[in-house]
Amino acid sequence: MKGVNILFDFGNVLIDLDIPKTTRMLEELVADDVEEARREIEELVKKYETGKISTELFINGILKFCRNEVQAKDVIDAWNAMLIGVPARRIEWLYEMKKHHRMAILSNTNSLHLENVYKGLEKKHPGLDFENEFFEKVFYSHQIGLRKPEKECFEYVMKELGWKPEATIFIDDVEENVEAASSLGLTGINLIPELPVEDLIKPGSLVP
């Protein structure tokens, strides 16, 4: 009998990220007021990650703040620079974890990142159907139109999965998201960058 369900965030939990790298690269493209650009880009990201704007509109929205010589490819390269990849030891860990748990992903993400992630997985782990191999379902914010830490986002996911909050662990690297999940009855774990998820949870350790 399998133990508790596990709902994973993707970035900085299952896939390693270097978010400051993207921040630095985008700021280097900006023409004038970096602070204003940062605020506007944050709003663009929220819209992009909930499917409210297309990739083209997202890129063009950032280009408005960039130097004249900056092109769309420069923005895309900067945006994707944060994506490091899923290490082999985490893949092996997931194989062991799925023996004990029902697992799913809930991620605030977007088309550009997801496309790049797929390419990276195919390059590093050829032939692996990552999503279907390990997870009951995956929920990406730009596809479901909902974004963490919105209450409705978690409620939608739990309903779709048919999971009980009290039997579900949610793991995320953002404290605000963990608090939102915990307020709905899930057991939230705020993962810190210094502690890889495979070192935090040993396969079989959560089985009653």
Query: Is 208 among the domain residues?
Result: no
Question: What pLDDT does residue 204 have?
Answer: 86
H/E segment holding residue 104 = strand 103-107
Predicted TM-score (pTM) of the model is: 0.94
Question: What pLDDT does residue 90 have?
Answer: 97
| Span 64-104, pLDDT tens digits | 999 999 999 999 999 999 999 999 999 999 999 999 999 99
Q: Please answer whether residues 136 and 104 qualify as being in contact, where contact means their C-beta atoms are separated by less than 8 angstroms.
A: yes
Per the structure, the complete domain to which residue 156 belongs is given by: 5-16+86-200
| Span 3-27, pLDDT tens digits | 599 999 999 999 999 999 999 999 9
Indicate whether 12 and 111 sit together in one domain.
Answer: yes
For residues 95-119, average pLDDT:
97
Q: Which residue, 145, 160, 158, 147, is CA-closest to 184?
A: 158
Residues in Cβ contact with 46 at an 8 Å cutoff, skipping those fewer than 6 apart? 147
Number of structural domains in the chain: 2
Q: Please answer whether residues 6 and 103 qualify as being in contact, where contact means their C-beta atoms are separated by less than 8 angstroms.
A: yes
Indicate whether 54 and 153 sit together in one domain.
Answer: no
Confidence of residue 1 (pLDDT cuts 50, 70, 90): very low
Indicate whether 94 and 152 sit together in one domain.
Answer: yes
Q: Please answer whether residues 16 and 194 qualify as being in contact, where contact means their C-beta atoms are separated by less than 8 angstroms.
A: no
For residues 114-141, average pLDDT:
96
